[in-house]
Structure 1
């Protein structure tokens, strides 16, 4: 019988571990530090420690050799969902995150994240790198428990710039060098205090860029320039990581610091950059799939956990997933989960790290989800054309979502049941949309055994049904972001066009804009909370209008203003009076001049509200 373990910490170990720390060292200065390193689009096969004979990652290999290495550790198919689970210890769909971009990456402010818990417990906290969990007031890392923050410009690898503790900064260095330097400075300054340091690198997310000497070295090995560049990105990060680990060791912190290394999802397809031959070279293990789907290569990640003189270096096959990181770190640190915290989905894997697993330790079930608008196709590494993946789930309609329309799986220690993974194109057959694999015997997912194990399949189907129903009941699931207007008296407030809660049928939401405004009646609604009441001038930022003179209306509650679209990139309908509290802001086309082209306004970028 498979028994799920959800929503608990491993309390006996938490209590015992905390008692040991109290009796052996000064709690304020000697509670263990944590350095959490997260890569971006790094695949299982992108490390020499995992059998890649071309790439050279000596620092990561050495870290792995000094760590507990997990052979069965899983993340989510794309980055924002993994980050949501990592930061909260909860299945990402419960947190308001349901995809990457298009407003679906915002981590609900009602969720408590790991930095807030560590900060409340007396840790100094820092984060440098990629923050992909919401880019507006109320969602930023400095507002969510991080004392020091460098929010890097996304995917600007060379001459990176960003926001350091609220101020714009520019660097003439590679991004990984910048992040590591900030982290070294942070741990040096705080070496006498317990700290939590989070380093989400952007390596090896596109665009493919690396120092030329790394590229040439790999070209000389016979690689294409693009694959040589990707390997160069990883190798350059490896060199920078050496600086960080040496700093930890030289500061005498190795025995007091837990270092974790992981990725956020599987390798990206990089259509237009990589050939099939490139991918054959890269995917040395033969794992099926890629970033964005639920095959093993889309969700299997390295996990190395080093704590010198505490954890014996070894390799383990225990199942773990990204929701387990937060409860594990709290357990190691002896920190109680706040009573106000929403229930966790992960559990502490400290017993695995200490090679002290109790006989009655329940078997874990791990769940995963890929956005159904981004389905796999007939080749393991070629995604189908992107569908309407960013359309919001309208308020009050998530209970109508049907499990048979989803791309999801449930994984036990041995078996993996997938729903709608597109098996028919990958050498298998679907049985009612489902496929079952014995991952321990068949890690490449070649043999669908669902007909041979009907009882196991039915039991896992039941678990998957219950899980998805629970997701729909979760208060934050499938919620689009709430925009705070006038927070701390802010005068310039931005509502991002791609983050509506409801849109008319003509419109198509995209990564960064809301497109396809065609006719009178087209509308979009946004969730706002007015913190500072008052009069706000409205500016509509859009691509050049194809129908100058079309009438628009902006309304919030009973307040409304009207104006016209211009053929410039801004339209200013006027000033609206806003009361304090939550509301919906609606932008609507009310009239279109005769003879207008089919597309009136192609791209809505943002709605700007300026406090008068």
Structure 2
């Protein structure tokens, strides 16, 4: 070897060693978030029925935030988690019909960490857009194994794989792949493989494991665990008394939910074993939380409420923060924190700066877990979610300020208010179950907090021009040559959004005019004959629908450049409805 080549080799070796050493000094990051688990479904918070021994052990050796909040439903929580911003700033305002898509100008946790040199991978549920440029793989995740939509068993399922928690068809970096095993096990297996590869390459990693369990449907659960729970008396964790004739059915559902939760717990144990085997357990941050309240009216500790509620049972989650290198196992805090704080906390821990001009709503809670006497400035947090295209002032919201909770629980399914809001006020330090409304006796507090809420609502509603416009799906690019459109992301126009007779349309953007093949997919192969009227932009085309044929109804259409609306009316003897799915392929 020549002296010049030898010197170059030494420089390269030293540079590589120093780079890997610098990476090794930064923590790795794993965020685990379950779906519909609920803040009371853990042994360490007092649940004596649902077994979570691995999470209980994690709690005993981790930092713990006992006053942590999320949104009442899943997609808003995910948008806030990924961006450190209130979801109303991100255009992700609901859970379906095109309103669970996040604006692509948002900078995600994956993008921050990827740009800082981390490998990034997601496994499970994304729920903020199924098509380019909205997918997780378009928003900073370099490795992606996910299901479509808000869960398996929804209209976004790949054809032929509907509702399969066992042996599901998932999207691996954009491609449909038939998997073997139970979905939660698959996610953890893939995440651990990704982690092992990252360690082998000497790279830091950010791994996001977002299970769709214990979200329904409940027909397909781990059989061994289901058998263990099948004859359990769930009475101790029921909030309301169940009539005897309904008890068997309710207990069976709870047995299935419990089986899914314990399965997640077992996988958490497997993950920690893997981290220790790789020798990285000390300097890997592992965070665990649930995305909203429980999916049945069950035990939530000393609170009231469930999923979709803005009462505390619907918006509270334990936050476990395991980082042995920096956080002692007895470090706990009751400071009020929320999903918007996870991103700035992770960036703080990883020493990643927020670029100038990027506005975060959250703040780092790392000092609460690393310092004995950390200061935590007084703050207000707001949680609001309801159905509809545009959020409405005072509709289904809660504002928290230290012990005060101002809330208007008008109902998640209520799109618009009928009459003035009837605000409720609670002192959570004295009344965590929200039994004594203090609004009448503390009118000045109600007025002050109400004004603060209105200021917040105005602020988050004006983050960009046309703040609540739905994002568009971009078609015909090399990033997604074949676009599968589902009812998850259509803009609903007729009937109940996912019911058999419903209809809707998709908001698209075509970067360049071109010829496309449009395939119409029906919900099943038992339909009668009819016709389909396809309208996209200024183009209208009609094709026959053959009876007893789910797929293969195609049309060739030239699609103009620009922003377009695609609608398809299926006419079966005068009964008009929308398609189950549509496939667009650029020719």
CA distances 1:188-221 after superposition (whole Å, capped 9, x unpaired): 2222321111111122112234333322323454
Contact 1:486/1:533 (<8 A) preserved: no
Deviates more, 1:526-535 or 1:568-577: 568-577
Q: Which of the residues 266, 271, 276 maps onto 1:244?
A: 271
Please, which runs of 5 or more residues in structure 2 have no aligned partner? Answer: 1-17, 153-163, 235-250, 413-418
Contact 1:96/1:478 (<8 A) preserved: yes
Report the secondary structure of 2:208's partner residue: strand
Distance 1:349 1:233 in 2: 30
- Equivalent runs, 1:70-469 vs 2, <5 Å: 70-152=65-147, 154-155=151-152, 156-191=164-199, 192-208=202-218, 209-223=220-234, 224-269=251-296, 279=297, 282-283=298-299, 285-312=301-328, 313-339=330-356, 341=358, 343-355=359-371, 359=375, 361-371=376-386, 373=387, 389=388, 393=389, 402-404=392-394, 406-421=395-410, 432-469=421-458
Distance 1:574 1:218 in 2: 51
Q: Specify the alignment match of 1:273 in structure 2.
A: none
Normalised by the length of structure 1, the TM-score is 0.78
Deviation at 1:586, TM superposition (A): 4.8
Deviation at 1:472, TM superposition (A): 2.3
Deviates more, 1:567-576 or 1:293-302: 567-576
Distance 1:101 1:466 in 2: 27
Q: Specify the alignment match of 2:155 in structure 1.
A: none
Deviation at 1:402, TM superposition (A): 4.3
Contact 2:131/2:483 (<8 A) preserved: no
Report the secondary structure of 1:203's partner residue: coil
Deviation at 1:576, TM superposition (A): 3.8
CA distances 1:196-248 after superposition (whole Å, capped 9, x unpaired): 11111122112234333322323454343332222222112212211110121
Distance 1:549 1:177 in 2: 43
Contact 2:530/2:544 (<8 A) preserved: yes
CA distances 1:94-138 after superposition (whole Å, capped 9, x unpaired): 111111122211112121111011000001111111121111121
Distance 1:188 1:536 in 2: 42
Deviation at 1:306, TM superposition (A): 1.1
Deviates more, 1:113-122 or 1:55-64: 55-64
CA spacing shift, 1:87–1:489, aligned 2, 3 Å: closer
CA distances 1:398-449 after superposition (whole Å, capped 9, x unpaired): 5xx6414x111111121111124469xxxxxx99411011112211111111
Report the secondary structure of 2:287's partner residue: strand
CA distances 1:491-527 after superposition (whole Å, capped 9, x unpaired): 5334445545584xxx24614x79556xxxxxx6543
Quick check: 1:484 aligned with 2:443?
Answer: no
Q: Specify the alignment match of 1:527 in structure 2.
A: 507
CA distances 1:154-185 after superposition (whole Å, capped 9, x unpaired): 43432333122344433332222222222222
Please, which runs of 5 or more residues in structure 1 have no aligned partner? Answer: 1-22, 270-278, 374-388, 424-429, 518-523
Distance 2:522 2:475 in 1: 20
Contact 1:151/1:163 (<8 A) preserved: yes
Deviates more, 1:233-242 or 1:298-307: 233-242
CA spacing shift, 1:259–1:528, aligned 2, 3 Å: same
CA distances 1:453-502 after superposition (whole Å, capped 9, x unpaired): 22211111011111111232122743323121211185533444554558
Distance 1:515 1:219 in 2: 36
Deviation at 1:346, TM superposition (A): 0.9
Deviation at 1:263, TM superposition (A): 0.4
Distance 1:477 1:509 in 2: 26
Normalised by the length of structure 2, the TM-score is 0.82
Aligned residue pair count: 525
CA spacing shift, 1:181–1:465, aligned 2, 3 Å: same
CA distances 1:74-102 after superposition (whole Å, capped 9, x unpaired): 11111111111111111112111111122
Q: Specify the alignment match of 1:426 in structure 2.
A: none
CA distances 1:282-308 after superposition (whole Å, capped 9, x unpaired): 416252111112111111111000110
Distance 1:570 1:147 in 2: 32
